[in-house]
Amino acid sequence: MLKAKSTLGVIFFPAYDWAISETHPEREERLLYTQDQFREEGLFDIQGITEHRPLRATDQDILRTHFCFPSVDAIATESHRISAGGAIQAARLVLEKETRRAFALVRPPGHHAMKVVQGNRGFCNVNIEAVMVEWLREHYGQKRIAIVDTDCHHGDGTQDVYWHDPDVLFISMHQDGRTLYPGSGFPEENGGPRAAGRTVNIPLPPNTSDEGYLHALEHVVLPILADFKPDLVINSAGQDNHYSDPITNMCFSAQGYARLNAMLRPDIAVLEGGYAIKGALPYVNLGICLAMAGCDYSAVLEPDFNPEQIREQPDTMNYIKRLCQQMTDVYFYPKPGSVEKEGHYFIRNRDIFYDTENITEKQREELKDCDSCAGIRIIQSRTRRTGACLGIELPFNCCPACEQEGYERFNRQHDGFQIAQMLDRKNKHYAYRP
């Protein structure tokens, strides 16, 4: 019988009773054929590969990560809680050393959900990786964490959650934002003023295939990881770079995905997008599982796989090589972005569009340039649905001055905000006003 070189826990949760809508790509059927493939291959008969139930993320698990307006229940349905709970289970398995690695094969996905959530963006309500990371930091202490997002779409939500966090390195490899939703993810986006270089965006041209993708992994991602020395590597494992994906334009294969995982060696992988549910997902997911477990994956091939047909054109390959030559500088020699500052506060003003729900959020973020701690963060957020909302975040190492300021702002009466949320990591206090 086959035996895993590294034990692997798989949280397989297809949510067979949940869909965004009947014909939406994010629907009940999405992981059905993956499960057929797993069953027929006898994946869980391999010694060392085990199947686990997801946990369920509580209000507290979500509110320590997100500002949810108007309320956590309005944002997170049971499906989101269980999907995030699947990621939490993956982290628990690894940190409790029950398995060496874990793969949360759960839906719905989460990497477009930002720090503030006012609704669904790009099929995502709750950032399941971020909820997982904050859960494990709360239970196992502040860790250095690297999140490598290999979904075809820029992981703008995860980037936003960790924009100011120097202990979380976020690397996203994706199809160039000039050609695909959400239209962001350029090298200039390299992290906030106190976390410069901790966000690395690698926009790959359309039709990038195995060689180009793995070139970027080898020449940009791996050297940066070697320097950052994270305690944990997390892969946001979107599968929509696949050559047969209906909503993207890349040419990645199941073999490519498997090799990516063999090279990256993530401790935890979390499923993100991927909607070629018959032709790609069964093979890609199998390849990822076998690679993570250290098993032979060389025969995991799509029936219509033809490497010659999907290979990059020479000029695409040249473009990727040139791009990669400059990319490590983003991390090693980060250029300061244009930072707006009012008094002691860094200011960001943004409009954020929620495509699924067709609403626009107006957001103003203030981050205190505090010498004694990571700094209080104050976010004002407004949509036509919720009116004016206020979010206050106090960091783990919050200093007394920031703490006092935060609670003063939170407890202020008649300040014009309909809803205010306190996200106090130091005292583990997560509450709404009123």
Query: Which x/- pattern, by CB under 8 A, does the window 312-331 give for other proteins?
Result: --------------------
DSSP string, 402-418: HHHHHHHHHH-SSSS-S
Of the pair 156, 302, the CB lying nearest other proteins is at: 302
In the complex, minimum distance from the CB of residue 387 to other proteins, in angstroms, rounded to a whole number: 31
Among 139, 178, 278, 364, contact with other proteins (rule: CB under 8 A): 278
Binding segment toward other proteins, per CB under 8 A, in 21-29, 145-153, 226-234, 336-344: 21-29
**How far apart are alpha carbons 123 and 110 in whole angstroms?**
8
Q: Please choose, out of 33-41, 95-103, 206-214, 237-245, the segment that lies near other proteins by the rule CB under 8 A.
A: 33-41
Q: Is 139 noted as a catalytic residue in this protein? A: no
Of the pair 1, 226, the CB lying nearest other proteins is at 1
Residue with Cβ nearer other proteins (46 or 270): 46
C-beta separation of 384 from 362 below 8 A = no
380-397 b/e (C-beta count within 10 Å ≥ 16 → b): bbbbeebebbbbbbbbee
Catalytic residue among 66, 80, 111, 112: 112
The one among 96, 98, 227, 296 contacting other proteins by CB under 8 A: 296
Residue from 4, 8, 15, 374 binding other proteins (CB under 8 A)? 15
**Could you please report the per-residue DSSP string of 20-42?**
SSTTSSSSGGGGHHHHHHHHHHT
Task: Examine residue 188 and tell whether it contacts other proteins (CB under 8 A).
Answer: no
Q: Which amino acid does the sequence have at 373?
A: C
- Look at the block and give the residue holding tokens 């959020």: 361
How many CA atoms are closer than 13 Å to the CA of 209, on its beta-carbon side? 19
Which of 6, 20, 37, 74 is the binder for other proteins (CB under 8 A)? 37
> Is 73 a residue that touches other proteins (CB under 8 A)?
no
* Spatial CB neighbours of 284, under 8 Å, sequence gap ≥ 6: 239, 242, 254, 257, 274
Task: Kindly indicate which of the ranges 9-17, 137-145, 166-174, 409-417 contains the residues binding other proteins, using the contact rule CB under 8 A.
Answer: 9-17
Measured from the CB of residue 218, what is the shortest distance to other proteins in angstroms? 26
Per DSSP bridges, beta strands 377-383 and 168-175 are unpaired
**356 touching other proteins, by CB under 8 A:** no
**Residue 87 token pair:** 């990621």
How many residues line the site for other proteins (CB under 8 A)? 47
306 lies in the site for other proteins, by CB under 8 A: no
Out of 126, 268, 286, 378, name the contact with other proteins by CB under 8 A: 286
Residue 51 beta carbon to other proteins: minimum distance, rounded to whole angstroms? 5
Contacts of 128 (CB under 8 A, 6+ apart): 80, 83, 84, 86, 87, 104, 106, 109, 110, 270
Judged by CB under 8 A, the residue of 222, 262, 301, 388 near other proteins is 301
Determine, following the binding rule CB under 8 A, whether residue 283 of this chain makes contact with other proteins: yes
304 binds other proteins per the rule CB under 8 A: yes
Nearer to other proteins, 290 or 394 (CB): 290
User: Exactly one of 6, 20, 35, 432 binds other proteins (CB under 8 A); which one?
Assistant: 35
| Rounded least distance, CB 1 to other proteins, Å | 7
Longest dimension (CA), the chain: 68
Q: In Å, how far from its chain's centre is CA 88?
A: 13
Q: Of 78 and 369, which has the nearer Cβ to other proteins?
A: 78
Which residues make Cβ contacts (< 8 Å) with residue 369, sequence separation at least 6?
193, 194, 341, 344, 345, 346, 375
Q: Based on CB atoms, which residue is closest to other proteins, 40 or 340?
A: 40
Measured from the CB atom, the residue of 18 and 186 that comes closer to other proteins is: 18
108-131 burial code (b ≥16 CB/10 A, e <16) = bbbbbbbbbbbbbbbbbbbbbbbb
Helix (H/G/I), strand (E/B), else coil: 380: strand
Alpha helices in 186-248 (DSSP H): 210-216, 222-228
Q: How far apart are CA 272 and CA 409, in angstroms?
A: 36
Closest CB 432 distance from other proteins, rounded Å = 24
Positive or negative, the CA dihedral 142, 273, 204, 154 is negative
Task: Rule CB under 8 A: say whether 243 interacts with other proteins.
Answer: no
Is residue 2 near other proteins by the rule CB under 8 A?
A: yes
DSSP structure class, residue 124: B
Side chain identity at residue 344, one-letter code: H
181 binds other proteins (CB under 8 A): no
Catalytic (active-site) positions? 112
Q: Which residues bind other proteins (CB under 8 A)?
A: 1-2, 12-18, 22-23, 25, 27-29, 32-33, 35-37, 39-42, 45, 51-54, 56, 78-79, 82, 246, 278, 282-283, 286, 290, 295-296, 299-304
